[in-house]
């Protein structure tokens, strides 16, 4: 859709009408009624007023004719206004409806975009621009309303211009020229807004981040302990200052244009009265036509202005909306295949072949030349010091990022060739920095899929959390954290880890990965967790990561990561006897916990 050959405004307009057609078709015929009623309103006066004045100023007055004309004018005006108002109020109800739909679509896409883009500054800016753009555009309703207002005013304009050409063509010229000048001034004002939009979006993103950190109580501990409040306040003050400087700058730039706009408006009114007064005084038009022309001039002015403003408004709004389209069409960072993953019952073999990787936006090679094979049902322990590249190895395996060189194979096929969603289903991972959501305990396990309360309790029991959950105020329905419920709870680190493990078990994927979710525990407690988990996932392929040796005893193979590559690989017995080996050294240092 983000097609360079079609202008952003046109693309946005097409996008909005597609949204309307998809979600609320009835909006279109109702808008058509509004267009016709709105366009007809001024003609009640333009048609009946000169007849009425002429009848009233005629030497012989026909009272019934006068009353009929007056009543026709008033009744038709009231009727058209009533239709227009009712329909407008009805259509306004759609404003939030479309905004919510667009907001939902953006949120959906935020969760679907390639993970690697979540660290990409341009992509993050584009998400913010899309959200701001959607709000500032007013959504599909405001853009469609603008379009229909232009249409309605165009009908009025042609009607009025026809009446005016017949009676006072020069007036058409005067009003036309001065309105063109007003339009030019407004275009300049809009240009200022749109040019500065990117900067404003950037300020808002930083400002939003700082405010969010200040309000999010999970950061409260660190903020207090490290006395970071001063720094946070200063950062937010800096952004407030940037924001106020921004608006000051915009207002300064617009000020001379505003003055010019008011002057042009005054000149236009003056010219209209002067010209029509001249025609009336010199007897070239009757008083009836004088009032008709005055009314037509008002309508012409109003509708031409409404068209010009409407076009400018729609260009501005669709410029904002275009940011949504750009986000919807954000180029994927990863190649995605279509190949189906083979049946899990046969198991899967995983292989890293000479894999190297550097994080996007960084020039440090984090993994180099990593080669390893993992048979179905095998348990692999990945050990190494912090920063050795263990988590990165897992992120690549789970396709959160793509390798730079080398390849990762699943059952002998490059993982890029598989259907992404299907491939992701192969893994249950508890990451080191897992996060629980501020939803109920049960929701944190099922993440939205239907499950019976008994099955959920069984999982809590399996991970040794059932008693703790039963003691919570609302049991499994108790909310985590206090953002949305004052009875929400903050579980201990260990309890949260068990929840994360229960979530991983619930997914029941053929490959399970524990990435140091136990780093906060002492080595013996960590060993216990790995041991229990190992019993639970019996028979599945498993990868356990730690900077300690907790999991090595019950794994068939151990891969020792150091400086971004696998320095040692083998069984515990092989590695522990290796001379000057890293593993042997680690074992010596930590042996007291595991022997
Ligand atoms: P480990 O799990 O062994 O502690 P990681 O795989 O987390 O190590 O990290 C390996 C290296 O990659 C470290 O130097 C770390 O700073 C760097 N790194 C990790 N994540 C990112 C990232 N998102 N962007 C850039 N560098 C990263």
Give the closest residue (by CA) to ligand 1 atom 7: 391
- Cα distances (Å, whole numbers) of residue 385 to 48, 389, 548, 578: 90, 9, 8, 18
Q: What does the radius of gyration of the chain's CA atoms come to, in whole angstroms? A: 35
Structure-token pair, residue 505: 């078990």
Compute the average pLDDT of residues 12-34.
95
Q: Are 427 and 445 contained in the same domain?
A: no
Q: Are 254 and 319 contained in the same domain?
A: yes
pLDDT higher for 50 or 301?
50
- Summarised one tens digit per residue, pLDDT across range 333-384 is 777 888 999 888 888 999 999 999 999 888 899 999 999 999 999 999 999 8
Residue 340 lies in a domain: no
Structure-token pair, residue 255: 């000020």
What residues does ligand 1 touch, defined as CB less than 6 Å away?
A: 119, 359, 362, 366, 384, 386-392
Q: Are 115 and 189 contained in the same domain?
A: yes
- Alpha-carbon distance of 287 to 301, in angstroms, equals 21
- Alpha-carbon distance of 310 to 149, in angstroms, equals 7
- Summarised one tens digit per residue, pLDDT across range 58-86 is 888 889 999 999 999 999 999 999 999 99
Q: Are 243 and 359 contained in the same domain?
A: no
Q: Are 270 and 186 contained in the same domain?
A: yes
- Cα distances (Å, whole numbers) of residue 445 to 199, 475, 496, 518: 41, 14, 11, 18
Q: Decide: 429 and 504 in contact? Cβ < 8 Å.
A: yes
> Which of 495, 497, 490, 547 minimizes the C-alpha distance to 517?
497
Q: How far apart are the first and last CA of the chain?
A: 63
Residue 503 lies in a domain: no
Residue 132 lies in a domain: yes
Residue 534 lies in a domain: yes
Å from CA of 388 to ligand 1 middle:
8
Residue 35 lies in a domain: yes
- Alpha-carbon distance of 311 to 316, in angstroms, equals 9
Q: Are 465 and 587 contained in the same domain?
A: no
- Summarised one tens digit per residue, pLDDT across range 526-573 is 777 778 778 877 788 999 988 777 777 778 899 999 999 999 999 988
Q: Are 365 and 443 contained in the same domain?
A: no
Å from CA of 363 to ligand 1 middle:
12
- Alpha-carbon distance of 253 to 257, in angstroms, equals 8
Does 412 have pLDDT greater than 90? yes
Q: What is the largest CA-CA distance in the chain?
A: 125
Q: Are 251 and 400 contained in the same domain?
A: no
Å from CA of 402 to ligand 1 middle:
15
Q: Range of 411's domain?
A: 350-434+509-594
pLDDT of residue 393: 95
Å from CA of 255 to ligand 1 middle:
51
CATH code (residue 566): 3.40.50.300
- Summarised one tens digit per residue, pLDDT across range 203-217 is 887 777 777 766 666
Q: Are 246 and 372 contained in the same domain?
A: no
Q: Are 65 and 129 contained in the same domain?
A: yes
Q: Looking at the CA of residue 564, tell me the nearest atom of ligand 1.
A: 10
Compute the average pLDDT of residues 436-446.
87
Residue 86: how many other CB atoms lie within 10 Å: 13
Residue 335 lies in a domain: no
Q: Find how far residue 127's CA is from the centre of its chain.
A: 5
Q: Are 447 and 409 contained in the same domain?
A: no
Select from 386, 392, 403, 519 the residue to mutate for testing ligand 1; criterion: most ligand atoms less than 8 Å from CB.
Answer: 392
Residue 497 lies in a domain: no
Structure-token pair, residue 144: 């469609």
- Alpha-carbon distance of 415 to 431, in angstroms, equals 21
Number of domains the chain is built from: 3
Q: Are 308 and 356 contained in the same domain?
A: no
């Amino acid at each position: 859709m983000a097609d360079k050959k079609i202008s952003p405004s046109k693309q946005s307009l097409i996008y909005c009408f597609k949204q309307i057609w998809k979600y609320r078709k009835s909006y279109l015929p109702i808008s058509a009624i509004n267009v016709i009623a709105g366009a007809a309103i001024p003609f009640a006066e333009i048609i009946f007023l000169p007849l009425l004045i002429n009848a009233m100023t005629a030497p012989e007055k026909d009272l019934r004719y006068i009353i009929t004309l007056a009543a026709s004018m008033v009744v038709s005006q009231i009727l058209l206004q009533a239709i227009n108002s009712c329909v407008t109020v009805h259509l306004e109800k759609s404003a939030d409806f479309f905004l919510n739909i667009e907001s939902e679509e953006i949120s959906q896409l935020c969760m679907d975009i390639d993970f690697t883009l979540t660290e990409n500054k341009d992509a993050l800016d584009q998400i913010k621009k899309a959200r701001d753009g959607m709000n500032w555009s007013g959504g599909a309703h405001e853009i469609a309303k603008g379009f229909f207002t232009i249409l309605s005013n165009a009908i009025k304009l042609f009607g009025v211009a026809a009446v005016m050409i017949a009676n006072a063509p020069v007036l058409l010229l005067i009003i036309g020229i001065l309105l063109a000048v007003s339009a030019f001034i407004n275009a300049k004002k809009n240009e200022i807004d749109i040019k500065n939009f990117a900067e404003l979006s950037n300020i808002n993103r930083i400002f939003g981040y700082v405010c969010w950190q200040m309000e999010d109580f999970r950061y409260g501990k660190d903020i207090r302990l490290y006395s970071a409040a001063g720094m946070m306040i200063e950062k937010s003050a800096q952004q407030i200052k940037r924001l106020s400087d921004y608006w000051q700058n915009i207002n300064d730039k617009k000020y001379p244009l505003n003055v010019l706009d008011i002057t042009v408006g005054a000149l236009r009114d003056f010219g209209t009265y002067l010209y029509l007064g001249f025609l009336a005084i010199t007897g070239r038009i009757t008083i009836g036509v004088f009032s008709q022309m005055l009314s037509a001039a008002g309508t012409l002015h109003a509708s031409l202005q409404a068209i010009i403003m409407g076009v400018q408004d729609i260009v501005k709004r669709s410029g904002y909306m275009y940011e949504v389209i750009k986000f919807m069409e954000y180029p994927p960072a990863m190649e995605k295949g279509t190949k189906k993953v083979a049946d899990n019952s046969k198991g899967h073999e995983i292989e890293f072949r000479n894999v190297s990787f550097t994080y996007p936006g960084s020039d440090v090679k984090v993994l180099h030349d990593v080669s390893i094979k993992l048979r179905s049902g095998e348990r692999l322990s990945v050990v190494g010091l912090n920063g050795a590249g263990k988590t990165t190895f897992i992120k690549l395996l789970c396709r959160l990022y793509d390798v730079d060189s080398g390849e990762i194979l699943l059952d002998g096929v490059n993982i890029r060739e598989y259907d992404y969603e299907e491939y992701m289903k192969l893994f249950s991972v508890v990451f080191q920095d897992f996060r629980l959501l501020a939803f109920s305990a049960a929701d944190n396990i099922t993440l939205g899929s239907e499950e019976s309360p008994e099955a959920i309790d069984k999982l809590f029991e399996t991970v040794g959390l059932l008693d703790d959950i039963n003691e919570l105020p609302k049991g499994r329905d108790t909310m985590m954290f206090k953002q949305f419920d004052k009875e929400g709870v903050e579980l201990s680190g260990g309890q949260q880890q068990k929840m994360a493990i229960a979530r991983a078990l619930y997914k029941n994927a053929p490959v399970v990965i524990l990435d140091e979710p136990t780093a906060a525990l002492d080595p013996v407690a960590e060993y216990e967790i790995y041991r229990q988990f190992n019993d639970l996932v019996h028979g599945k392929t498993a990868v356990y990561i730690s900077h300690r040796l907790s999991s090595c005893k019950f794994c068939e193979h151990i891969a020792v990561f150091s400086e971004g590559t696998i320095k040692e690989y083998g069984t515990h017995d092989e590695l522990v006897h290796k001379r000057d080996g890293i593993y042997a050294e680690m074992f010596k240092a930590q042996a007291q916990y595991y022997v």
